[in-house]
Each structure stands twice: as structure tokens, then as C-alpha cells.
Amino acid sequence: MVGTDASFLNRCSCSPPICSHFSVPLLNFLPLLVAFLSALHCDNPTMGYAQLVIGPAGSGKSTYCSSLYQHCQTIGRNIQVINLDPAAENFDYPVAADIRELISLDDVMEELGLGPNGGLIYCMEHLGENLDDWLTEELENFLDDDYLVFDCPGQIELFSHIPVLKNFVEHLQRKNFSVCAVYLLDSQFITDVTKFISGCMASLSAMIQLGLPHVNILSKMDLVKNKRDIDDYLNPEPQILLSELNLSMAPRFGKLNKALAELVDEYSMVSFVPLDLRKESSIRYVLSQIDNCIQYGEDVDVKVKDFDPDDPDIGAGSD
């Protein structure tokens, strides 16, 4: 930060008579001047931090939020988890704010005769129309430097083509929050290369739509029997992906496979961080990756160690 103290005034290069002539009025205004300069030069005066936890239904978003909350309790770090899923019923974390106070899925389904999916989209669009009221008021309950975690619903429409979450994120950014998208993909889903590519495409569409720093997480690592199978998908080579795709699909899809492998490579997003909730070290590592993305803790010097896929503690290596 530049110019937040008055020491530069001591380096005044004007001649002594002029300096002494102005010294009394200048001293009177010194505190104001310093405050003014601080405001001008301060990079992030009231910066907040937020994770937007997204991914398909059942991928483990709410469980992740709850484990993250527990972990932060253990290490004495303050986070607030906010429920954005109007269909959620039970929570394993204290809910700091809840979309169901704004709109209830049951009411929408009953009054508008909508099904669960249509009802949920309606609720989220209602949220989009109430960002200036509901969200702004809720945010006022938090401190400027609070770390918020938003537990989102899983409907793919919300992070593919309906702009609600995009508008939600822009609202947070206008309130000076640094936001990271945390995309969870169920490791049970990754049984072959075609499913892996399909998971990547869904994550990529969220990344493009939201335009946020993005961390991909492979959840439920405790259920993976042979961890070597998953290793191949944590940081795979595009060429290997392509040859596997070609092997598992008809020859007429060759060009499409090449384009898909290139797309995934160009967005450098074929990278998943494994998460095994049984291991504190795994949660700590995931959190450090996200903190790094949003520059949380620059002032407190958060320790981020290099990724070592063979480290059994992180969750990808064999036990």
C-alpha cells in the first residue's frame, strides 16, 4: 500500500521558509489528508470472501459444506454457510442464512402447480429478482471480512443457461466479495473416460457461464476401491484421453473426440482435487487450493503445499 502514512511529508523537498510557513495548517489537516490518501490507495477496503459450491445433485455439496464447517471449527477459523437450495430439508451445519426464508419450494409447487424441478427453477428466479432486497439485507448481517460458503442446488440449468447464479455472483462482486466456484463431481461417476469427459463438460459450462476462479473437486474418495483408476483422471494427458476416447467410441466420432480433448486442454480444466472427508489433511488441502484462488489469507500467510498425488493423506494415493 502506498501513501498511507505521513512519512512522505517529511521528505518534502521545498525550501525551509515555505515549509515552516505552511506547517501549522498542514498539521491540522494531516489526519484528513492521511485518511483521504488511504482511501485512494487501499486495494480492497472491505473485502469479503465466498465459495459458491456447485455440481450435480447428490455430488456431496451439502456434506462438503458441513465437513468444511466442522474443519474450520476445529482449526478456529470463522466461516458461515448459507443455504441456497430451496428443496433442502436437513442440515448438518448451522444455517447462517436460508433461501427458504425468502421462498419455499413446497409453497411454489402447491400454489403454482409446478413439479419439483420447475418449482426449484421458479424459486431461483425469484431469488434473482430479489438480490437487491433479500441478499443485500442478509449480507448486512455479516462482517466485512466474513468468509461465506453458499450451498447451491444441483440443477444443471442453474449453471448452464439460466443466468440466476451469474447475476448472484455479480451481486456479490459488487459488494466487494472475492468469489470462487467450487465444482463437485462424484468420483463414483468417473468409471470410464466417456463419463469423465461428460463430467468435465458440465463443469466447463459452469466455468464459462460464471466466469469465476474455479476449483474442481472429486468427491467421495472414501468410496473409491482402486485409487489407481482415479489417478489417471486427476491430471490426465490430453493425448491419453483422446486415445482412450477413440478406443471406446465408434470411428466416426474421431474428430469430435479430438475437438473435445483439445477443448478440455485449452481451458486447462482437466484437473481435479480429490476429497476424502475422512481425512482432515484432505479437507485442509482442498481449502488451501480454494483460498489460494481467492487470495484469502494473503495477510495471514496461509500455507499451501505443492500438490503431490502420491501423498496418501491427500486422498488420491493408494491407502
Nearer to ligand GDP, 100 or 220 (CB): 220
Is 155 an interacting residue with respect to ligand GDP (CB under 6 A)?
no
First to last CA, the chain: 47
* Cβ neighbour number for residue 69 with a 10 Å cutoff: 20
Closest approach of ligand GDP to the CB of residue 84, in Å: 11
Closest CA to 81 of 147, 166, 159, 176: 147
* Cβ neighbour number for residue 193 with a 10 Å cutoff: 23
The residue assigned the cell 426449484 is: 120
Closest approach of Mg ion to the CB of residue 110, in Å: 22
Is 100 an interacting residue with respect to ligand GDP (CB under 6 A)?
no
Binds Mg ion by CB under 5 A, chosen from 62, 155, 187, 216 = 62
Is 227 an interacting residue with respect to ligand GDP (CB under 6 A)?
no
Is 83 an interacting residue with respect to ligand GDP (CB under 6 A)?
no
Q: Judged by CB under 6 A, which stretch of 192-200, 215-223, 234-242, 286-294 contacts ligand GDP?
A: 215-223
Closest CA to 279 of 70, 58, 78: 70
CA atoms within 13 A on the CB side of 300: 8
Nearer to ligand GDP, 257 or 282 (CB): 282
Closest approach of Mg ion to the CB of residue 307, in Å: 27
Virtual CA dihedral for 131, 122, 53, 225, nearest 10 degrees? 180
Distance, CA of 246 to CA of 268 (rounded, Å): 21
- Residue 48 interacts, among Mg ion, ligand GDP, none and using kind-specific CB cut-offs from 5 to 8 Å, with none
Is 57 an interacting residue with respect to ligand GDP (CB under 6 A)?
yes
Instruction: Point out the residue whose Cβ comes nearest to ligand GDP.
Output: 60
Nearer to ligand GDP, 135 or 283 (CB): 283
Q: Which of residues 103-142 bind ligand GDP (CB under 6 A)?
A: none
Q: Which of residues 254-283 bind ligand GDP (CB under 6 A)?
A: 277
Q: What residues contact residue 136 under an 8 Å CB cut-off, 6+ apart?
A: 171, 175
Is 58 an interacting residue with respect to ligand GDP (CB under 6 A)?
yes
- Residue 60 interacts, among ligand GDP, Mg ion, none and using kind-specific CB cut-offs from 5 to 8 Å, with ligand GDP
Q: Find residue 83's DSSP bridge partners.
A: 98, 151
Instruction: Point out the residue whose Cβ comes nearest to Mg ion.
Output: 62
Is 98 an interacting residue with respect to ligand GDP (CB under 6 A)?
no
Q: Judged by CB under 6 A, which stretch of 55-63, 168-176, 210-218, 230-238 contacts ligand GDP?
A: 55-63
- Residues contributing to the site for Mg ion (CB under 5 A): 61-62
- Residues contributing to the site for ligand GDP (CB under 6 A): 57-63, 154, 219-220, 222-223, 277
